[in-house]
Amino acid sequence: MTSSDVSAPPEEAGTGQAEAVRLDRVVHRYGLGGESFTAVGPVDLTVPAGEFLVLVGASGCGKSTLLRLVAGFERPTRGSVRVHGAEPRPGAGAGVVFQTPRLFPWRTVRGNIDLALRYAGVERARRPERRRELLDRVGLAGVEGRRVWEISGGQRQRVAIARALAAENPLLLLDEPFAALDALTRERLQEDVRQVAARTGRTTVFVTHSAEEAVFLGSRIIVLTRSPGTVALDLPVPLPRAGVGAEDLRNSAEFAELRARVSHAVKAAAA
């Protein structure tokens, strides 16, 4: 394939679509009084529905804090966070995947997914079909009877992703979900997440340290400055979301160029 094969129009960033997430002048501070520490802000950010936004930056720049604000786990010290026009509430409106999968280890893969479907309000009669769909989607068909301690780290993270997809939330939040995995498993899961997001059209916010991961996954990349994290670079990714193989994409000149640009921006923003 030639480098020109992976060009795509820049409308991938989703301009003109409905607004999924909006941050207005958001500042977040941890602690009180003289002991307080500003981790984030001020940040203004609008994420259109269907966008795959990746937040990149050096360790401690506030990526997870921003994600936690969008998930509703934290309230901003100043400014406002809106998800589909409302203040976010934990457990409602967004599926969340963490670096370490939070599963019930004594349950089977099936049991973990069924529980998520129950919490999501899916009727008992519909759960087996929905479970099969989810297991297929994340490539876990065949291990559903195993307990969590009987499957690999990559498979556990797949279960966590299936659980996050169980509730049909239009928003998916992922905080360095592949950081602890080996390179091959990481690449496979990146491909799966990319496809899941493209097929389901979910708005996704993904946190990573890696410029490579950001360019592979994102339709838009935001590089944060060192703390307090603010937006250093807001970059649309004009690479195709479908129709090009993962290897071809990773080996293309456009991919290499974007990766170098993001990597350079991360280093400059951390300096």
Ligand X SMILES: Nc1ncnc2c1ncn2[C@@H]1O[C@H](COP(=O)(O)OP(=O)(O)OP(=O)(O)O)[C@@H](O)[C@H]1O
Q: How far is the CB of 152 from ligand X (least distance, A)?
A: 23
- Which of 108, 190 has the CB closer to ligand X? 190
CA distances from 246 to 6, 132, 133, 189, 190 (A): 11, 25, 23, 11, 9
Instruction: Note whether 59 binds ligand X by CB under 6 A.
Output: yes
Which of 60, 91, 145, 201 forms a contact with ligand X (CB under 6 A)? 60
Q: How far is the CB of 138 from ligand X (least distance, A)?
A: 24
- Which of 98, 104 has the CB closer to ligand X? 98
Backbone region of residue 51 per phi and psi (left: phi > 0; alpha: psi in -120 to 50; beta: other values): beta
Q: List the structure tokens of 11.
A: 């409308």
Q: How far apart are CA 95 and CA 167, in angstroms?
A: 7
Bridge partners of 81? Answer: 23
Look-up: residue for tokens 């390179």? 183
Q: How far is the CB of 118 from ligand X (least distance, A)?
A: 30
Q: How far is the CB of 65 from ligand X (least distance, A)?
A: 3
Give the end-to-end CA distance of the chain in Å, rounded to a whole number: 37
Instruction: Note whether 116 binds ligand X by CB under 6 A.
Output: no
Q: How far apart are CA 242 and CA 244, in angstroms?
A: 6
What single letter denotes the amino acid at residue 174? Answer: L
Q: How far is the CB of 271 from ligand X (least distance, A)?
A: 16
Instruction: Note whether 61 binds ligand X by CB under 6 A.
Output: yes
Q: How far apart are CA 171 and CA 165, in angstroms?
A: 9
Q: Which of residues 28-57 bind ligand X (CB under 6 A)?
A: 30-31, 37, 39, 57
Residues 189-218: x/- map of binding to ligand X (CB under 6 A)? --------------------x---------
Residues 225-264: x/- map of binding to ligand X (CB under 6 A)? --x-------------------------------------
Q: Give the number of residues in contact with ligand X, rule: CB under 6 A.
A: 14
- Which of 37, 119 has the CB closer to ligand X? 37
Instruction: Note whether 72 binds ligand X by CB under 6 A.
Output: no
Binding site for ligand X (CB under 6 A): 30-31, 37, 39, 57, 59-65, 209, 227
